[in-house]
């Protein structure tokens, strides 16, 4: 979902889900890896030029089920830039 606040600023919201299997090392499953994860991801997008935009998103976990004991993040930050090329 994207909502334009102005011609330059827009905000977004996503729900992301990921299921990951256990890692394997030389064909043997590695304990304490893999799980199920669901995040809500609000973000902001700034149009720097007609073709260039800069964005930031924060991933906030709302559900995590991990195998055994597993390290999981409290949140994740994502920053980036997007450039659109004009077709000739």
* Candidates 3.40.50, 2.20.200, 1.10.3470, 2.60.40; CATH matching 2-83: 2.20.200
**Per-residue tokens: 46:** 């700034």
**Per-residue tokens: 15:** 């729900």
Summarize the confidence of residues 38-54 as an average pLDDT. Answer: 95
Q: pTM for this structure?
A: 0.74
Q: Are 79 and 45 in contact (CB under 8 A)?
A: no
Which segments of the chain are extended strands (E)? 2-4, 9-20, 24-25, 28-29, 35-47, 52-66, 76-83
Q: What pLDDT, on a 0 to 100 scale, did the predictor assign at position 73? A: 84
Q: What percent of the chain has pLDDT over 90?
A: 69
pLDDT at 74 over 80: yes
Q: What pLDDT, on a 0 to 100 scale, did the predictor assign at position 67? A: 87
């Amino acid at each position: 979902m994207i909502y334009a606040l102005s011609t330059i600023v827009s905000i977004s919201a996503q729900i992301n889900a990921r299921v990951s299997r256990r890692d394997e090392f030389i064909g043997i499953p590695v304990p304490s890896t893999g799980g199920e994860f669901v995040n809500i991801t609000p973000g902001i997008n700034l149009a720097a030029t007609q073709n260039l935009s800069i964005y930031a998103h924060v991933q906030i976990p709302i559900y995590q089920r991990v195998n055994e004991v597993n390290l999981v993040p409290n949140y994740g930050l994502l920053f980036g830039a997007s450039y659109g090329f004009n077709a000739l």
